[in-house]
Copies of this chain bind each other. A is one copy, B any other.
């Protein structure tokens, strides 16, 4: 499998660069018979798209998606579904000064060393813009998983720079540009971002993502553990530097008597596992958390080198997100959905006729237990 295809059975193959004519993807392995149109996909793309608040890049892209194949009379046919999104607001001239130098912390340098050539316009293929097709593909996965199992995906920002954002309610997430599950902190977040922009600097963020109503039994124990594939999927998002499943790094200081989630006929007592044991879903909520680094394209001058290897000061102008974490929540949900979709199909392949007498233990959805 080459690097640009995600998944084993439900696969997504993307293409495109930030300032090329178009971006998109081919989704293969979708079960037939699913009702599907652009109206199922566009809302997810709209959640991710740029230009929706002053805290993100001001590039104007409608991210209008066109389904090119795989749907007949409103239903999926089982053949590949191609999604096409034309780029509308390329401004290649903004990037003239970037072509000869390498931004500290940016893929500029590694692409050039690997390929001997790079498309410098807007970061080329390394741009976070390339997450749009993935979000589109995941809209299909989300729909199918919801219809099959009632699976629901949610996410929120839980930290912006050094500001921790306490969880109040999922209801808040859709109503602020930060995807914060919180209203009281919003003025603080806005002020923080305004100061950051003024300073010509950038910051990191922490995002949480949760999938509820996941069937028990998804995952392949060695090596395609469900959590291993989630880690792969989330670490593959631009700027991610850390992943936690369930209790994550808190597990280090836990005792076994504390960490192991007790089982009762009424449900699990806690969810330190984050919904995965031995690489297989428990039926509890899948919970994950990611660390997103600060954007490398900043106005503040920094030391670097040019293509001739000479020292140079680099300042980056043009349109950039001062915190890519702000738009990362729908992307993290999308990657999680793709993993679950793929494993739902893989599980059905091998274990489609397994009948277990023991009913699945109810999930205990308890945010206190799962994410704090």
Contacts and interface: CB of A to CB of B under 8 A. Distances in A.
Given A2-B8, A107-B279, A223-B236, A248 B291 contact: yes
B104 A261 contact: yes
Given A204-B251, A262-B302, A17 B104 contact: no
Contacts of A230: 235
A269 B297 CA distance: 18
A32 B117 contact: yes
A349 interface: yes
Given A68-B22, A244-B291, A294-B251, A202 B256 contact: yes
Contacts of A353: 31
Interface stretch (A172-180, A183-191, A340-348): A340-348
A357 B113 CA distance: 9
Contacts of A227: 235, 240-241
Contacts of A231: 228, 231-232, 234-235, 243
Contacts of A257: 201, 298, 300, 302
A105 B259 contact: yes
B248 A241 contact: yes
- Among the interface residues A279, A295, A357, which one has the most CB atoms of the partner chain B within 10 A? A279
Interface string A331-365: 00000000000000111111111111111110000
- Among the interface residues A30, A261, A292, which one has the most CB atoms of the partner chain B within 10 A? A261
A43 interface: no
A25 B13 CA distance: 10
Interface stretch (A45-53, A54-62, A119-127): A119-127
A259 B24 CA distance: 31
Contact of A117 (B10, B77, B203): B77
A125 B278 CA distance: 10
A304 to B, nearest CB: 5
Contact of A126 (B221, B293, B346): B221
Identical chains in the assembly = 4
Given A29-B2, A223-B3, A361 B305 contact: yes
Contacts of A294: 251, 254-256, 258-260
Contact of A305 (B102, B112, B245, B265): B265
A153 interface: no
Interface string A241-276: 111111111111111111111111100010011101
Given A244-B241, A249-B249, A279 B236 contact: yes
Interface in A201-243: 201-206, 216-225, 227-236, 238, 240-243
A247 B13 contact: no
A93 B279 CA distance: 26
Given A16-B69, A78-B114, A241-B247, A4 B220 contact: yes
8 contacts: A5-B11, A31-B353, A78-B115, A79-B125, A113-B283, A204-B252, A235-B245, A254-B294
Given A3-B28, A230-B235, A260-B298, 10 more contacts: A3-B222, A5-B11, A15-B69, A24-B82, A31-B353, A159-B253, A206-B249, A231-B232, A241-B249, A345-B350
